[in-house]
Amino acid sequence: MSVTRTTSMVLAALAAVILAWPVAGSAADAPATANIAPNGGAEKGESGKLPEGWGRYENTSAEVGATDKEFYTGKRCAFMRITGFGDDGVACTGLAVGKTGGYSAPEGISVKPNTTYHFSFYIAGDGFKRKISVNPWGFNEDGKGRDRSIKGISVLPALEWKRYTGSFKTGAKTRKAVLMFFVYSREHRDVKQGAVFYIDDVYLGEAEPPAPAKGSVRIKTPKLAAEVKGEGYSPLKPGTVRIWDTNRKYKHFYVNFVAWKDRAGWSQVPYGKTDHKFRGETVMENDHMFLFLHSGRQSGPILYAKLGKANPNAKRYGHEHSVHNALYRVWWEDGGKVHHYDGRPRMNRIEKNTASEAVIVNVAGDKVNAGRYRIPAGKHWLEITPVKGKKADETGYHGEARVMLVPNYKDGNDYVMDSAEDRYKTYGRSGSPDQPVHPTRRIDTARAAKDKPHWGSYPMTPPGSKMLIDLQMTGGQFMWTMTYPSWKVAKPYLNWAPGGRLDKWPPWRKGSLKRRGDAGVWSAPYGCLGNQKIVVGVINSPGCWHPEIVGTPLKAGKVDGKVVKVGEKYTCKWKASYAGKWRMTARFRDDKAPGKARYYSKQVTMEKGGEFVFTCPVAGKLEYIILYLYDRTAKTPVKVGTPMDVYRETIKTKQKGKTKQKGKESS
C-alpha cells in the first residue's frame, strides 16, 4: 500500500471521528462519562470571589468565594460563610455549582430532559447543627420556570472532609440545572454566626461518579471564631455624633429598626478611625436621628427619627425608634426615562469620624450607585451628595403623608398638596406655572382613566421653591423636610400612590377622608442631585405641627362644613407648644364651586401656650387649619428644630456680615 493511500485513509478516519465528536457545550451530544460541573474544583477564578461558573442564592447575607486556605485536592476550594440572619432569625442563602442568581439560570449547566444524572462532592465545615440541603435545581431552556420536584440530599458539614454522592432525574422540560448548597437554619439553634462550609471536587454527569480521590483529612480551622459582641449601646452624649457597628447582618430593610433589639452587642467605631471593616451593619447617630446603612437586598439606607415617648408606635414595636424613612438613591439611563433604584447597598467607607461630624460613603452592590451621607452633631438634618465617578442622579425618601407643602410660596400663602382632598386635582398634568409636569417621569394614563387621576402622576413642586415640608403622622406629629440649593437643578417632584394608612391617622379619620376609600398618599418626594446636595431635615420635636379639623365630617354625596364670612375670626382649640414663628394655613371650599378649594396662609409670632386666631380672607366652608412651627425666635428652645433652621444651616452662608443664598432662587 502506498504512503499516499495510507495517509488518505488515516485522514478519512480522523475526519469521521471529528464529525462524530459532540459539539462543545451541547448537553444532548456530551459524552456520558463527561463531568459537566463547571470548575468543580474551584481552581479557576480570583481568590475571595465566586469561582468561575458558580452562582448563589442570596436572601440573607453570606460571604462566598474561593479560598486557598482550605482544599481537599488541588490548591483551592469554594466556601460560604454565614454573616447575617433575617428578622425572623433565620439564615436563608445558598452557594451553587452553575451560574445562577437563585431565581433563574439562563447560563446554568445544560442538561438533557428525562435523564438520570449522578453527582458527588467533598464537603467540610464548622458551626452547623442542622443539615444543609444539596438540591439540583432544574430550569427550562430560557433558565426560568424552576422545577421544584427534583429532590436532592441533606448533609451536615463537619471538620473532617467527607464525600457524598447522589442522583436525580430531570423533568420533561428541564434544559438547565445547577447544584445548590442551600442553608435554611435558625440562629443559635441550627447555625452559628460565622458558620462556614467548604466544597471541593464536584462531579455532575450521566455516568456514576469517579472513584474517590485521596486528599486532605480535616480543615485547618480548629473551631469557629467566637461571635463578636461589642461593648453595647449607651446613651449618646448630647451634642455629639457617632458611628456604630452592629456586629451582625440583617435581612432586607426594616420599618421598625430591628437592629435596635440587639444593641447590647453593638460596638462604637472609635473616633478618628476611618479604616474600620464593618462586621455587621453601619449605624450613624446624633441627637435627633439614626441612619441605618444596612446591607439588605431592598431599598436604600433607612433614616429613623428619634421621637421618644411622643411615638405612639413605641408599644407596638417595643421601642421608640420605629418611624422610618427609606432614602432611595436612583441613577438614570436614556436621559432619565429609565430609573434604577439602588438596592443591595453593600459597602460603607468612613470618610470622617469625629464627635462633631460623621461622613460615610455608601456604595451599592453594583458598585455603580453611591452616595455620601454627612451627619453633624446636634443638628436636625443630614446631607446627601453624589460621589465623583459614581452614579447617583436622584435621591428621595419614603415618608408617606397626606399633606406636603411648600411654605410661603406666593403672596404669603403656602403651596399645599393634599392627597385626599385634592385627589381630583390634576397635579402634574395641567402644565401651569404652579403645576409643572416632570420632564422625564411619565403619567400612567391607563390607570388615570379608571377614576384615579393621581396614579402614575409626578407633580413637581412650584418653580423657585426652596424646600418641601412633609407633615408626618405615622409616629406622632413631626416633620420631614427636603431642602436644596437650586430648584432648577433639583427638579423636585412627588410620587402619588393609592392606599396608604390615612384612615388610621387621627385626626384625619374624623374628617372628609371618611367618604373616600382610595384617598391615596404622597408616598415619596425626590430631588435630582446633579452636582449639588440634597438635605433631609428631621423636625422631631413633639407638637411641632398640628391639624385642626374645623368642618364636620363629610358624607357621601354631601358637603358639610363650618361656613364663615369674610373677616370672621376663628380661634383654634389647640395652643402653641413652643414660642416661635408659626404658620397657619387654612383650607376653604368655595360655596359656588364645591369641587374647588383654596388655601390661605398667615405667619404669626407666638408665645408658648398662645392662641391661634385666623381671620378668614374669604367666605366659604372652612374645612381645616394646619399649624406648624416654621422659624425660631429668641424664646424658642435651643433643642427644638425648625424648617428654617435647616435651611439657614445648609443652604445659606454668611459672607461679610450679610446672608447670601447659594443658587439663584430667592429665599
Q: Which of 21-30, 356-365, 637-646 is most confident? A: 637-646
In this predicted structure, what is the pLDDT of residue 320? 64
Are 414 and 583 a contacting pair, CB within 8 Å? yes
Does 145 score more than 50 pLDDT?
Answer: yes
H/E stretch holding 470 reads strand 467-472
Mean pLDDT calculated for residue range 110-130: 96
Q: How many CB atoms lie within 10 A of CB 653?
A: 12
pLDDT one-digit tens code per residue, 264-305:
999 999 999 999 989 888 999 999 999 998 876 556 788 988
Confidence bin at 624 (pLDDT 50/70/90): confident
pLDDT one-digit tens code per residue, 401-458:
888 899 998 889 999 888 776 644 444 333 334 444 454 444 444 444 444 444 445 6
- CATH number, domain 54-205: 2.60.120.260
What is the distance between the alpha carbons of residues 354 and 274, in angstroms, rounded to a whole number?
10
C-alpha cell at 12: 478519512
- Percent of the chain's residues with pLDDT above 70: 72
What is the distance between the alpha carbons of residues 574 and 540, in angstroms, rounded to a whole number?
19
H/E stretch holding 586 reads strand 580-589
Which residues, in sequence order, are CB contacts of 223 under 8 Å at separation 6+? 126
Per-residue DSSP letter, 2? -
For the chain, how long is the longest CA-to-CA vector?
124
Are 377 and 394 a contacting pair, CB within 8 Å? no
Where along the chain do its domains lie? 54-205, 242-388, 398-539, 546-642
Q: Which residues pair with 250 in a beta bridge?
A: 85
CA angle 323, 325, 329 (to 5 degrees): 165
Higher per-residue pLDDT: 550 or 610: 610
pLDDT, the chain, mean:
80
Does 19 score more than 60 pLDDT?
Answer: no
pLDDT one-digit tens code per residue, 540-593:
988 999 988 887 544 433 444 578 888 889 899 999 999 999 999 998 876 565
In this predicted structure, what is the pLDDT of residue 445? 45
Does 244 score more than 90 pLDDT?
Answer: yes
The CA distances from residue 193 to 89, 101, 221, 280, in Å, are 11, 23, 15, 11
Peptide bond into 345 cis (omega under 30): no
- β-bridge pairing 467-472 and 403-410: antiparallel
